[in-house]
């Protein structure tokens, strides 16, 4: 389970990704100045300016003297994603826009990488495609091998804008991306050796052709997301911060000799711990780490202990080669007794009915659902079947109730009639849940609940090696635990997506 939810709830959001503006700019010599200087004297000014520039761009930035502000580029705040809500701070949205900005994972503030990533994020997260759901899916089918899909592009307007921004800042686009698995394959394709303690649970989200990657890890008592970014490319991911003033910043030198900047939220999070950012450079890469650590003896002690468990020296090494992941021979899956193959699943009444309802809900949502959540900064992509109905029944959304009953009768299945849910330590009200369970349930907790309550609700012994954050169960025996979906024979699960 990727646990971005825990940290992102407090400091914003991104797989997947956003960031902030930084202060004043240096002046330059005005060629039209009325004060004439000799070439020699002007040359000395230029030389001094060049030396200062080198010191600031190579030494200061590389050594992290500028902290959080060095990583935040100003642009228009995103309009359609979950971030730190301005209402949760003492700042108005106007003030937040002035003090906030985008963090990109491969560039400093106001560098070509930082500007390009911020401009792209601001565009794509506010862009509303004119295509219908059918047209959008047809466009996806035509461009499924286009690397532009890494950037969330889904029509020609967005595609043209992406290339325009890349040309504007003289950057390239990523060309390949994989998600290596198991973890040994990740080390093979990146050429790295383990950079975290042996007990760490590491989950790789993706690796790009230049060695940039994103991964999440659970240590004994901490959670981190590591983004390693190579310069010279337009980074698809970014992170928006509303207010840099809410962070306590300081600098440490690791036992490996790396100077690291830390930006930590001044307030404890809802779990009683600390959340924040770690910034450094390793080799040719910028390293950005989001973290959650427990409260320590001092406000700084837990994260400083965490940093010593991460080998920045190892993170700066490696040579990317995708062949170990791509040059493999697929193994044919053959029926084995009662083994449920993909073919059997996709031809089953349970699958066909469940997916039909889920897709119908998406069609309804494309026409009506955005209105319901537009004020809550939700991510939304028109025409993509990535939403599920987690609410109560009858759902009273268009013709969905009629369709659900028709599907049940046609396939001889039992539809859901009632819903129970446990999310992030609370029993939650299904009436409050829209297309994305985690977002909405935060608004309507009913009573405290434990993970034991969740397992008991679905009637299972714990089968995961972590505590899930979300359980949802329907009265026909179907359930979902985080990303795991269960459909008993003879039932309809309303959130199953088509393969």
Q: What's the distance, Cα to Cα, between the start and end of the chain in Å?
A: 20
User: According to the model, what pLDDT value does residue 429 have?
Assistant: 78
Using the 8-state DSSP alphabet, how is residue 366 labeled? I
Q: Are 358 and 498 in contact, with CB atoms under 8 Å apart? A: yes
User: According to the model, what pLDDT value does residue 136 have?
Assistant: 78
Element (H, E) at 206: strand 201-208
The whole-model pTM stands at: 0.62
Neighbours of 89 (CB within 10 A): 16
Rounded Cα distance between 243 and 273, Å, is: 20
Rounded Cα distance between 122 and 73, Å, is: 11
User: According to the model, what pLDDT value does residue 431 have?
Assistant: 65
Rounded Cα distance between 187 and 80, Å, is: 35
Rounded Cα distance between 290 and 184, Å, is: 24
Tokens of 275: 């959340």
For residue 351, which phi and psi values (nearest 5 degrees)? -65, -50
* Closest by CA position to 222, among listed 274, 150, 265, 185: 274
Neighbours of 114 (CB within 10 A): 30
User: According to the model, what pLDDT value does residue 13 have?
Assistant: 35
User: According to the model, what pLDDT value does residue 469 have?
Assistant: 82
* Closest by CA position to 441, among listed 465, 421, 457, 414: 421
Rounded Cα distance between 128 and 374, Å, is: 12
pLDDT (tens digit, 0 to 9) for every residue of the chain, 499 residues total? Answer: 334 443 333 333 333 333 232 222 222 223 333 333 232 333 333 333 333 333 334 434 444 445 788 898 887 655 443 333 333 334 344 444 456 889 999 999 989 999 999 999 989 888 888 887 678 778 888 888 888 888 988 899 999 999 999 999 999 999 999 999 889 999 999 999 999 998 778 999 999 999 999 999 988 889 999 999 999 999 998 888 888 889 999 999 999 999 999 999 999 987 889 999 999 999 999 999 999 999 999 999 999 999 999 999 999 999 999 998 888 777 676 666 666 778 888 899 999 999 999 888 888 877 775 544 433 334 445 555 667 888 888 888 878 899 999 999 999 999 999 988 888 788 887 766 554 433 343 445 678 889 999 999 999 999 988 888 889 999 999 999 988 999 999 999 998 888 7
Q: What angle do CA 99, 103, 108 make, to 5 degrees?
A: 100
- Listing from the earlier edge strand, what are the strands of the sheet with 426-428? 445-448, 426-428, 419-423, 470-474, 479-481, 484-486
- The residues spanned by each domain of the chain are 1-25+39-328, 342-486
User: According to the model, what pLDDT value does residue 60 have?
Assistant: 42
């Amino acid at each position: 389970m990727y646990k971005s939810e825990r940290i992102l709830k407090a400091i914003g959001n991104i797989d997947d990704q956003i960031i902030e503006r930084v202060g004043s700019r240096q002046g330059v010599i005005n060629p039209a100045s009325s004060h004439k200087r000799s070439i020699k004297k002007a040359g000395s000014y230029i030389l001094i300016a060049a030396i200062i520039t080198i010191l600031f761009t190579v030494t200061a930035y590389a050594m992290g003297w500028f902290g959080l502000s060095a990583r935040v580029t100003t642009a228009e705040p995103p309009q359609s994603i979950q971030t730190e809500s301005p209402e949760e701070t003492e700042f108005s949205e106007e003030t937040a826009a002035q003090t906030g900005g985008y963090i990109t994972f491969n560039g400093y503030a106001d560098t070509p990488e930082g500007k390009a990533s911020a401009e792209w994020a601001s565009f794509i997260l506010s862009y509303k495609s004119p295509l219908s759901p059918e047209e959008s899916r047809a466009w996806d089918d035509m461009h499924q091998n286009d690397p532009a899909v890494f950037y969330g592009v889904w029509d020609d307007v967005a595609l043209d804008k992406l290339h325009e921004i890349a040309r504007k800042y003289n950057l390239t686009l990523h060309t390949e991306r994989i998600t290596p698995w198991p973890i040994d394959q990740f080390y093979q394709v990146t050429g790295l050796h383990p950079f975290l303690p042996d007990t760490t649970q590491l989950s790789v989200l993706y690796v790009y052709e230049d060695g940039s990657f994103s991964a999440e890890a659970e240590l004994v008592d901490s959670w981190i997301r590591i983004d390693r970014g190579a310069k010279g490319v337009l980074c698809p991911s970014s992170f928006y911060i509303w207010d840099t003033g809410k962070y306590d910043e300081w600098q440490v030198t690791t036992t490996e000799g790396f100077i690291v900047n830390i930006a930590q939220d001044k307030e404890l999070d809802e779990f009683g711990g600390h959340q924040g950012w770690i910034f450094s450079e390793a080799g040719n890469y910028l390293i950005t780490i989001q973290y959650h650590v427990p409260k320590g003896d001092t406000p700084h002690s837990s994260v400083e202990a965490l940093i010593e468990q991460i080998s920045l020296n190892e993170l700066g090494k490696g040579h990317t080669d995708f062949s170990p992941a791509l040059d493999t021979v697929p193994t044919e899956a053959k029926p084995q007794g009662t083994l449920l193959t993909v073919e059997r699943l996709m031809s089953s009444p349970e699958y066909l009915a469940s997916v039909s309802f889920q897709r119908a809900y998406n069609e309804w949502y494309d026409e009506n659902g955005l209105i319901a959540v537009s004020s809550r900064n939700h991510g939304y992509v028109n025409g993509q079947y990535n939403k599920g109905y987690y609410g109560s029944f009858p759902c009273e959304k268009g013709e969905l109730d009629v369709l659900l009953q028709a599907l049940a009768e046609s396939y001889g299945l039992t539809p859901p009639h009632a819903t129970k849910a446990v999310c992030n330590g609370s029993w939650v009200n299904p009436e409050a849940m829209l297309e994305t369970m985690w977002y909405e349930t935060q608004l309507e907790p009913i009573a405290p609940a434990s993970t034991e309550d969740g397992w008991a609700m679905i009637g299972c012994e714990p089968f995961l090696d972590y505590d899930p954050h979300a359980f949802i169960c329907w009265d026909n025996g179907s359930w979902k635990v985080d990303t795991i979906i269960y459909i008993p024979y003879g039932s309809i699960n309303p959130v199953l997506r088509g393969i």
